[in-house]
Structures are given as structure tokens and as C-alpha cells.
Amino acid sequence: MNNSIPSLRILPADMGTAPSSATEGGKFMETLEQSMDQVESAQGDASTEVARLLNGKGADLHSAMIAVEKADLSFQLMMQVRNKIVQAYQQISNMQF
């Protein structure tokens, strides 16, 4: 198990030249999907660690708790990102043209 916390990159760090809006949208979706996959992976790791702890297969309580907390924090972060996306969508849909 990898004990390092994976970084969730939601915003592109280097934007060089101005790319077309179609590639920006695709890049955003790709980044969002990768982040959701990381959250799902963290939850799977936590489930595995808890199962190993409960089955007595050599896992210790500390590694199980660390895995559960990583999964919880990554899920909370993803929920905050979702909330911001929904909020941005609502603001855009309320604009008058």
C-alpha cells in the first residue's frame, strides 16, 4: 500500500497559450474523471485495509485508520468540488442574456 497522499489536481497549473474551448472542456472532464477515480481507489484501499484488519491477515489498526481517513478526506474534497461546480452552473443559468 502506498502511504503517500495522492494530489488531486482540479485546476490546470500551466496554461501556456490559449487553447480552444473544446480542448479546455475535454481537459477539465478528463481531470475530473481522474480525480473521481482516485477517490474511488482510496475508498477501495480503505475497504481492503479494514477487511484485512477484521480477518486478522496482518494489517494493523494504524494503517487501516490512515487508509479510512485518506478515503474520507478525498471524498470530502470531491464533494466540495462538486458543490462548487453546481454553484457555478446555477449562477450561469441565472444570468440574463
pTM: 0.68
Task: Give the domain ranges of the chain.
Answer: 24-93
Mean pLDDT of 35-58: 92
CB 1 within 8 A of CB 49: yes
User: Is the pLDDT confidence value at 20 over 90?
Assistant: no
Alpha-carbon distances, residue 17 vs 12, 25, 27, 32 (angstroms):
13, 15, 15, 22
pLDDT in tens, 55-95: 988 778 999 999 999 999 999 999 999 999 999 999 999 99
Can you read off the three cell numbers belonging to residue 11?
A: 485546476
Mean pLDDT of 46-58: 90
Instruction: Name the more confident of 4 and 95.
Output: 95
The three-state (H, E, C) secondary structure of the chain, written as one string: CCCCCCCCCCCCCCCCCCCCHHHHHHHHHHHHHHHHHHHHHHHHHHHHHHHHHHHCCCCCHHHHHHHHHHHHHHHHHHHHHHHHHHHHHHHHHCCCC
Lowest mean pLDDT among 9-18, 50-59, 72-81: 9-18
Residue 77 burial (C-beta neighbours within 10 Å; 0-12, 13-18, 19+):
middle
pLDDT averaged over every residue in the chain:
83
